[in-house]
């Protein structure tokens, strides 16, 4: 299993918190290995091919988004913070979710429905508390929970990420298997 990190390449504080959450999970749960992938850290040239990146996104078990842009230079005329690269990656996942939903609906009317699985990752979406999340498109602000964060509270961030990892691992394991610390249901907070 692996976690895909989608955020500004300059936001190493956020990336480090995700890495710490994964490493903490691995220390606490020796029977499951979680890896993380952050595209700017891949390869000697500082990046990977776009097609390889898309494959990584589609194969991920969990995608952790930080919509926060590099700097205030990415504010539009309305004062909205945007990170266009992260929104592109979000669009890839969102389109996959729509394809899965429609394919499963179509297959439910045919005899082909048994055994066909389309992998879609779980999503965890963060935005710095310095940015306004109310001005995102309805797809983001209405259909998905965006969690405000501040890097001064790294433990909050790590807790959210670890809970989502545990939820995903339990989903992928057999129904009779659970991991320690997974008794409480995952909850999203703003």
The tokens for 170 are 């339990």
Please write the tens of the pLDDT for every residue from 13-36.
999 999 999 999 999 988 889 999
Q: Is the pLDDT of residue 37 over 60?
A: yes
Opening angle at CA 179, ends 96 and 153, nearest 5: 75
* pTM for this entry: 0.76
What contacts 128, CB < 8 A, 6 or more positions away?
66, 68, 81, 148, 149, 150, 151
The tokens for 22 are 């994964």
DSSP 185: P
pLDDT-derived band at 184, boundaries 50, 70, 90: very low
CB 97 within 8 A of CB 120: yes
Q: Is the pLDDT of residue 9 over 90?
A: no
pLDDT-derived band at 68, boundaries 50, 70, 90: confident
Please write the tens of the pLDDT for every residue from 45-58.
455 677 787 888 88
- CATH architecture, domain 2-172: 3-Layer(aba) Sandwich (3.40)
pLDDT-derived band at 93, boundaries 50, 70, 90: confident
Instruction: Please report, for the chain, the start and end positions of each structural domain, with discontinuous segments joined by +.
Output: 2-172
């Amino acid at each position: 299993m692996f976690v895909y990190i989608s955020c500004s390449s300059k936001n190493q504080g956020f990336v480090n918190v995700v890495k710490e959450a994964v490493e903490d999970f691995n220390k606490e749960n020796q029977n499951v290995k979680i890896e993380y992938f952050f595209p700017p850290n891949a390869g000697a040239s500082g990046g990977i091919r776009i097609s390889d990146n898309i494959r990584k996104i589609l194969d991920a078990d969990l995608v952790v988004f930080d919509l926060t842009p590099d700097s205030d230079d990415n504010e539009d005329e309305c004062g909205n913070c945007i990170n266009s690269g992260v929104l592109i990656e979000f669009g890839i996942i969102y389109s996959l979710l729509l394809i899965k939903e429609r394919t499963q609906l179509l297959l439910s009317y045919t005899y082909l429905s048994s055994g066909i699985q389309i992998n879609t990752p779980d999503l965890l979406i963060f935005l710095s508390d310095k940015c306004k999340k109310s001005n995102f498109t309805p797809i983001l602000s209405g259909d998905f929970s965006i969690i405000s964060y501040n890097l001064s509270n790294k433990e909050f961030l790590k807790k959210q990420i670890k809970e989502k990892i545990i939820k995903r691992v339990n989903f992928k394991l057999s129904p009779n298997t659970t991991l320690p610390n997974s008794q409480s249901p995952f909850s999203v907070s703003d």
